[in-house]
Amino acid sequence: MSIIKTHQITLRGGLDCNIVLRPLRDDHLPYLYKWCADPEVLYWTEGGPADKELSYGPNTVHEIYGTVSQNALCFLIEVDGIPIGECWLQKMNLPDVKAMYLDGADVRRIDISIGEKAYWDRGIGTTCVRMLIDLAFSRENVDVLHCICEDYNVRSVRMWEKLGFSRVLAEPLPQHHKGRYRCHYRLTRQEFLGFRQTRIPL
């Protein structure tokens, strides 16, 4: 039995390099094992307490991706044919967030991790998220994207704001956490359509 529930959608983009988002599947687990075992990668993706030794083993990887993929479109990120990370478009799974919207609204979240550190700070994450935004609103008929990051991750904060998201909530975090606030960002279908018409290509 497969661990990761896969799909048939492939996305392509990128200007300075060839970026492909391929359906995540069990064949890609060795990459996930590597990235999820790296404390430096998890420091930026997991939030929470300032644990610089955090590392996930295969069983935890199976649990994370096996669970998430049941209600998400999960992708392997390739740059010029090299696997460098993963991302997903997931049906919102947090009750407190779902309660912020009308019953029946299609609310989803985007999560992304660039596991190969040589590819950090090259704008690849922003391009991948833009591709997922287009997928959400243009093909999946999503009503709202609601994404979350902690304020210590300045790169993520800049990315959400650059892509047209608005900060709608900042929840204080305990003192032992890496960040001071857990920040919620929102982009509606109407905002996306307006932003797409006015944005200047990067």
The CATH number of the domain holding residue 123 is 3.40.630.30
Q: What is the pLDDT of residue 175?
A: 86
Closest CA to 75 of 61, 62, 89: 89
Flag whether 4 is in a domain.
no
Round to whole Å and give the CA distance between 134 and 53: 36
Is the model's pTM score more than 0.85? yes
pLDDT in tens, 48-62: 887 778 999 999 999
pLDDT in tens, 81-129: 999 999 999 999 999 999 999 999 999 999 999 999 999 999 999 999 9
Flag whether 6 is in a domain.
no
Flag whether 41 is in a domain.
yes
Flag whether 2 is in a domain.
no
Q: What is the pLDDT of residue 51?
A: 76
Task: With a cut of 50, say whether residue 20 has pLDDT above it.
Answer: yes
Q: Is the dihedral of CA 96, 183, 116, 50 positive or negative?
A: negative
Tokens of 91: 């049906």
Tokens of 153: 């991750």
Phi–psi pair at 90, nearest 5 degrees? -120, 140
What total number of domains does the chain contain?
Answer: 1
Q: Which domain holds residue 29?
A: 11-198
Counting residues of the chain whose pLDDT is more than 70, the rounded percentage is 96
Tokens of 141: 């008929």
User: Mean pLDDT in the chain?
Assistant: 93
pLDDT in tens, 169-202: 999 999 888 999 999 999 999 999 886 655 545 4
Flag whether 5 is in a domain.
no
Q: What is the pLDDT of residue 130?
A: 96
